[in-house]
Amino acid sequence: MIALRLLFFNLIKFTDLRNKFYQWIIFCQPLIFLTILYFMLKVNPAINIDKYIFAVGIISAWSFILYASGTALISEKWGGTFELILGSNTSLFRIVLTKSVCNSLIGLLNICLTILYAQIIYGFEIHTSNLILSISSLIVLIYSLISLGMVLAVLCSLFNNVFEYQNLMVFPFLILSGLFIPVNDLPLIFQPISYVIPMTWSIKSLYDSLIGIEFSYFYLLGGILISSFYFVLTYIFISKIELIFRKTNKIGVF
């Protein structure tokens, strides 16, 4: 119950939707990509419109989570509250988890908003051959984004010039996760990297549900397992940070 209250309070009070950059990502960026998609359809009516509509939503969701979750801890450092959080009774892991969940929920809202734009403004019709698989894939995708958000929150806190690294990560992650090109069509050297990105598995499952490929639990299970591994890894790392702080009163690697 306390965790749910913390989640709701964080979603209302600390999700910085007043930030103009975040407003651009959530409300304007999908319109730009959907406009490109509209003219692509005029040139080549044979393209899979359903796949690319979801791709547009995932681009915006990933962009928001990359910047919002990636600065979850660095913003506390800049505000001078990071040490206070470490010294409080609330676990740092719980705080990072709550921020990542909130940002991923907004990422889901971003996908829904993209679908709404596509239907109302551009008149696109979205079809799926397996609605249950599509919904399951989106749930696993959000779970994957939560785990990635937590990893980003820790990794980005290690760098002072965090925004430069975030800018470099936007599209390489999307390409490697098979959003534009199937992973099997990528160079062999990149394919192992693709399969350790949790989004890869849920995106593959989602695309299969749209084009009617026979359903397999393998990709959903793969996304859940990889994401859970990142959860455990982040928990261990954050626990060590808190332990160092409580023993030495120093932030350690931070």
CA 181 to chain centre: 19
pLDDT at 166: 83
When pLDDT is averaged across residues 152-175 and rounded to a whole number, the result is 83
pLDDT of residue 15: 66
- Among 32-46, 103-117, 152-166, the range scoring the smallest mean pLDDT is 152-166
Window from 28-37, 69-78, 170-179, 234-243 with minimum mean pLDDT = 69-78
Tens-place pLDDT, residues 202-247: 999 999 988 877 766 889 999 999 999 999 999 998 888 777 766 6
Which whole number is the average pLDDT over 92-99? Answer: 87
Greatest mean pLDDT among 5-9, 15-19, 118-122 lies in 118-122
Whether 3 has a pLDDT exceeding 80, the answer reads: no
Determine the pLDDT at residue 173.
93
Taking a C-beta distance cutoff of 8 angstroms, is the pair 74, 162 a contact?
A: yes
Six-digit token pair at 113?
């908003």
Question: How many CA atoms lie within 13 Å of 71's alpha carbon, on the beta-carbon side?
Answer: 19
Domain ranges of the chain: 20-248
**What is the pLDDT of the chain when averaged over all its residues?**
85
Q: How confident is the model at residue 116 (pLDDT cuts 50, 70, 90)?
A: very high
Res 79: pLDDT: 73
